[in-house]
Amino acid sequence: MSESPGKEYYDIVSFFPIDKDKFDIDNLKYKDGEFSHICSHIEQKNSLQSETFHIPCMKIATYMRDLENKFPVKDGKKHCIYMNYCINRVVKNNGKKGRNESKLILGYQNLTSELNICKEYIKHMDDDTFNKVQNIHDIYDEHRKFTNMLKSSTQPNCADFKKCIELYGSHKETCAQNTHKDFCEALQKFKEYHLLNMNLIVGKCNYRDVELPSLGLSFGSYHGDREDQVEWDAGNPDEETSHGMETSNRIPLITFSIIFIISFTFFILYKFTPFGLWLFPRIKKMRKIFLNLVGEKDMLKNSEIEELYTNNRAYNIKYNAEEN
């Protein structure tokens, strides 16, 4: 099966910023004079309409300047793929289909050249690819909103996870067709992340309220790098997964260590200290009580079986007599 056009996005969408650091054109702040001259020059050069380009251009330039703080990953290519997705989001909201959308993309290509940031990565995304990437990004964003609510509330509304379930489950038919492998693997990656972090959620919610529906995909199909590990309070979902896996791996080791230390301590006390003289008769007494209880239980069980057999026998005799 050939690689899908959106694979480069699907592979890294789990790294995209969410919550307060995500690209939100409506709430981005900018300084009016900071990038105004650059955006005005590009606007005139490409005959772009000021109302659809000028202010978004200044906001995008401001966000790109702070991109490394908003999206702290080591691989600069991820920055640029994410930024292209963000620019396409603005273009698809502001531009009309066809020529005007292409002109806006060209304008933002000029902007990245002027800023010398991601200048080789800005290109038009087809609607299908864009919508799929946006859907996965929205699922991660909804998950973050939910976990933030869990952390801040003593009485969380676990039903709020329903939106995340609906977004994820809406792709069941798409993945059943087996023609969107890369996209469905990105969804599977989200499910694995959610399951590995379930211990952080089920402490406050019933499992049934936060269970994702099956898309018919095999668990463990995704094997990818998980970078930039942070604690539960931070914003990257992949890091929380790593933290959850480390915790799960530690639990058996800690349990074994505790049992070993307790057993070893009791052996030393029993064998080489007066504690053994005090403990031995008590163990003997407890063993005798236990054996008596087991004996009584067996006797009761045998008595019940014998009574059941007698009743059945009497019933069969009566039944046969009536039949004759």
How do the pLDDT tens digits run along the chain, 324 residues long?
457 889 999 999 988 888 777 888 888 888 888 899 999 999 999 999 888 899 999 999 999 888 777 776 667 788 899 999 999 999 998 766 556 888 999 999 999 999 999 988 999 999 999 999 999 999 999 998 888 888 887 778 888 899 999 999 999 888 888 778 899 999 999 998 898 878 778 888 888 888 898 887 654 444 444 333 223 333 444 444 444 444 444 555 666 666 666 666 666 666 666 666 666 666 666 666 656 655 554 555 455 445 544 544 444 444 444 444
Question: Nearest-CA neighbor of 189 among 15, 313, 18, 63?
Answer: 15
CA–CA distance, 81 with 8 (Å, rounded to integer): 8
Question: Under a CB-based contact definition with an 8 Å cutoff, are residues 8 and 83 in contact?
Answer: no
74 is a domain residue: yes
Same domain, 100 and 147: no
306 is a domain residue: no
Same domain, 110 and 148: no
3-state secondary structure 139-159: HHHHHHHHHHHHHHCCCCCHH
**pTM for this structure?**
0.65
Same domain, 27 and 113: yes
Same domain, 169 and 272: no
Domain that holds residue 159: 129-209
CA–CA distance, 140 with 320 (Å, rounded to integer): 71
Same domain, 89 and 137: no
Same domain, 285 and 196: no
222 is a domain residue: no
21-54 exposure pattern, b = at least 16 Cβ within 10 A, e = fewer: ebbebeeeebeeeebbebbeebbeeeebeeebbb
How many folded domains does the chain comprise?
A: 3
Residue that is last in its domain, among 168, 188, 209? 209
Residue that is last in its domain, among 104, 125, 146? 125
CA dihedral (171, 175, 180, 182) in degrees, to 10, reads: 90
Same domain, 22 and 118: yes
319 is a domain residue: no
Separation in Å, CA 274 to CA 260, 282, 285, 287? 22, 14, 18, 21
209-237 exposure pattern, b = at least 16 Cβ within 10 A, e = fewer: bbebeebebeeeebeeebbbeeeeeebbb
Residue that is last in its domain, among 91, 125, 159? 125
> Alpha carbon 6 to chain centroid distance?
21
Which residues, in sequence order, are CB contacts of 57 under 8 Å at separation 6+?
35, 38, 39, 42, 43, 107, 108, 111
317 is a domain residue: no
Separation in Å, CA 178 to CA 63, 151, 183, 214, 310? 37, 38, 10, 14, 62
Instruction: Please provide the DSSP assignment of 75-110 as one string.
Output: -HHHHHHHHHHHHHHHHHHHSPTTHHHHHHHHHHHH
119 is a domain residue: yes
Same domain, 113 and 134: no
Same domain, 169 and 106: no
Same domain, 157 and 169: yes
Confidence (pLDDT) at 4: 81
